[in-house]
Structure 1
Amino acid sequence: MELDSKTKMWYATYGNPKGFPILVVHGGPGSGSPTAITDFLDVKFFRYIFFDQRGCGKSTPHLELKNNNTHQLVEDMEALRKHLKLDKLTIFGGSWGTTLTLMYAIKYPQNVATMILRGVFLARQEDVDFLYEGKGANWFFPKEYEAFQNAVANLKGRTNIAKYYKALTNKKLDLEYRKKLALDFYKWEFSLVSVRKRDFKKEYEQEAYDLALLESHYFYNKSFLSSDNYILENAHKFKHIPTYIIHGHFDIDTRLIGAYLLEQKLDNVKTYYNHMAGHSLLDSSNLFALKDILEQLKNKAS
């Protein structure tokens, strides 16, 4: 789908072509669409719509940072809704995808029927600092955090995010060195996402560069929000929208406190706070919660 003369957004649909549509908003920023989740979900009743956000996945130009900001991504979502001739959207967002879903709901609440939010990320500075700046996540994985921090210890910048961002966007630096930095960044996050032990695979290396560049771009720029607590400050604009929240108690990427604070702002919300889950959708109780929510939506629509 052409967004402008230089930008094309990849999208695809899975499941029943005439089924109940669900727009899936991926995380990161930069991770690309998790189309493999359809292996675990009802594809006979639902139609899952995936899209790769600007600069990542199969959207082009790849890794483009110009005009790549939160507000533009919201407009891209709205353009896709119009392109597909959809009325109101049921949106499923995970991690950064919850941020983008909530930002869309602030701008276009009249176009949202239901929100399903997994791993709520409010994009406040304290959320970023907890994860990257030694303000909490490092307590759980000190060895992995030390490697993440040491990789940029001698680079210029006030914060780890600033150091990674300035290095990854500096084309005067050797590409292989930048790729190594991106891998250090990615491995830190990789260590946090699940309560299950996961093995790092060679094929993750391209994803590592995409994720490190785009995440550092967004978080260095404070997610392009006009105030630090922008989402909660504007929650009154979407508080009426039926919302489901899935969040693992052992989610170290996105703390459960963010989900709880959001819950307090909503009039129509159901929460799944899962004791034996972390950040990953594939942690079993998180996936079970999503299946339960989809079954509820199916029953309501039938």
Structure 2
Amino acid sequence: MIFATELRTIFLLSLLTARAASMAAVTTPKADLRYVSLAASDAANQVANPVAYPRDLYPEIEPFETGYLDVGNHKLYYDLSGNPNGVPCIFLHGGPGAGCSPRSRRFFDPAYYKIVILDQRGSGKSIPNAADDLDGSLVENTTPALVHDIDLLRAKLGIERWGVVLGGSWGSTLALAYAQAHPDRCSNLLLRGVFLFGPDEVEYLFCNGGTFGQNPGAWSKYVQYLEDTSSNWAVEKTNLLGAYWTRLTSSDAAVRSAAAAAFVGYELSISKTYTDPAVLETYLGTPTILIPFAVMEVHYMLHAGFMRRGQLLDNVKVMAEHGHKVAIAHGRADYVCQPQAAYRLAQALGAVGAQCELEIVAGAGHSDSEPGLIDAMVRATDKFRDVAAVIA
């Protein structure tokens, strides 16, 4: 799941982070694009001139508070922006391992919301970062631990109840897990690119070539990297995720970097409707930045998301019982997280009487930098704001 690693926008914004800034002084190696498929044509130049939608992101905003949440083996970076006395909301990034960026704050009206962003264990500015301490980043890195972290942060900040929990891709998984574990601690959920961690979803994306139908080149390159670097392909071809894990956790830094480039390059290739090849080449030219994303994602995939099979759909009743309102925005052309997951969730919520609005966005892929998804997500946070104002 690219889950928030968002090509042009995320790459440029990631340069603003402390880690990327420190790496900027180092000469960027030439990207190894042998295992990245060519982008589809863009004769209309939509990369540079995307279609205009009614709503765009709110203006850039700086945090009024930053800090670290100490959870023992990890120190998790967070920051607060917007209205210090506003309705609290939290942005849950994807991956796992992708980390947040300043852009994450811009889905919310800063005059109304108290905006919280959090880098999950092993990711972003949190300590340790998987790129610096691989073994340390994996210690107690599970879904229940991340759910607990969110609630610890809520308590630390003196927040009684999250007004909105926004999660995209893996972040949607985590948002649902949190809402079901602490249903009295949140009111509204906004989910983008839903991923329920069903076995079929994992198999489709990483194991059985489900993406080959729409993106044959990308899938072929994803597999080719493993075959070209395998000493026992007859065995490894039966467990592609396991094969990537072996390389991503290799003692050889060059092997880790090459595996990260191939793995993340695959997802970048299928995540957006229009892919910018120049940005892709630059991004993969510094693959060590991508190790947290690649490592965490495979770590979670190999462990079924650290959840019981079917858990998120089975537990929707508790959300209805606590009056959760759910908005879902999902790209029609999302080849990372298929629209069927969003449909399944909406149907399950509706069946137990929960309030849920599903918007399938035409012309949009997986990334939350897709103009159509930005429009849908900002409209949703504004609607939560306006409905609350009317009730008040």
Q: TM-score, with normalisation over the residues of structure 1?
A: 0.94
Instruction: Pick closer, same or farther for the CA change 1:206–1:13 going to 2, 3 Å.
Output: farther
1:74-93 map, 5 Å: 74-89=147-162, 90-93=164-167
One-letter code aligned to 1:56: S
Give the CA deviation at 1:203: 4.2
Equivalent residue in structure 2 for 1:194, among 235, 258, 272: 272
Equivalent residue in structure 2 for 1:277, among 353, 356, 364: 364
Distance in structure 1 (CA, Å) of the matches to 2:95 and 2:188: 22
Q: Quick check: 1:164 aligned with 2:244?
A: yes
Distance in structure 2 (CA, Å) of the matches to 1:103 and 1:210: 22
Backbone CA RMSD of aligned residues: 1.6
Instruction: Pick closer, same or farther for the CA change 1:288–1:169 going to 2, 3 Å.
Output: same
Q: Quick check: 1:67 aligned with 2:140?
A: yes
Give the CA deviation at 1:40: 6.2
Distance in structure 2 (CA, Å) of the matches to 1:206 and 1:8: 21
Q: Quick check: 1:109 aligned with 2:183?
A: yes
**Other-structure match for 2:64:** none
Q: Quick check: 1:219 aligned with 2:301?
A: yes
SS in 1 for 2:70: coil
Give the CA deviation at 1:201: 4.3
1:3-22 map, 5 Å: 3-22=70-89
Q: Quick check: 1:27 aligned with 2:109?
A: no
Count of paired positions? 299
Greater Rg over alpha carbons, structure: 2
Q: Determine which structure has greater relative contact order: mean sequence separation of CA pairs < 8 Å that are 6+ residues apart, divided by chain length.
A: 2
One-letter code aligned to 2:199: Q
Distance in structure 2 (CA, Å) of the matches to 1:40 and 1:114: 14
Q: Quick check: 1:136 aligned with 2:210?
A: yes
Instruction: Pick closer, same or farther for the CA change 1:37–1:225 going to 2, 3 Å.
Output: closer
Report if aligned partners of 2:173, 2:195 keep a CA contact under 8 Å in 1: yes
Sequence identity percentage: 28
Report if aligned partners of 1:91, 1:114 keep a CA contact under 8 Å in 2: yes
SS in 2 for 1:132: helix
Q: TM-score, with normalisation over the residues of structure 2?
A: 0.73
SS in 1 for 2:220: helix
Distance in structure 1 (CA, Å) of the matches to 2:106 and 2:187: 25
Deviates more, 1:91-100 or 1:10-19: 10-19
One-letter code aligned to 1:278: G
**Other-structure match for 1:238:** 319
SS in 2 for 1:29: coil
SS in 2 for 1:191: helix
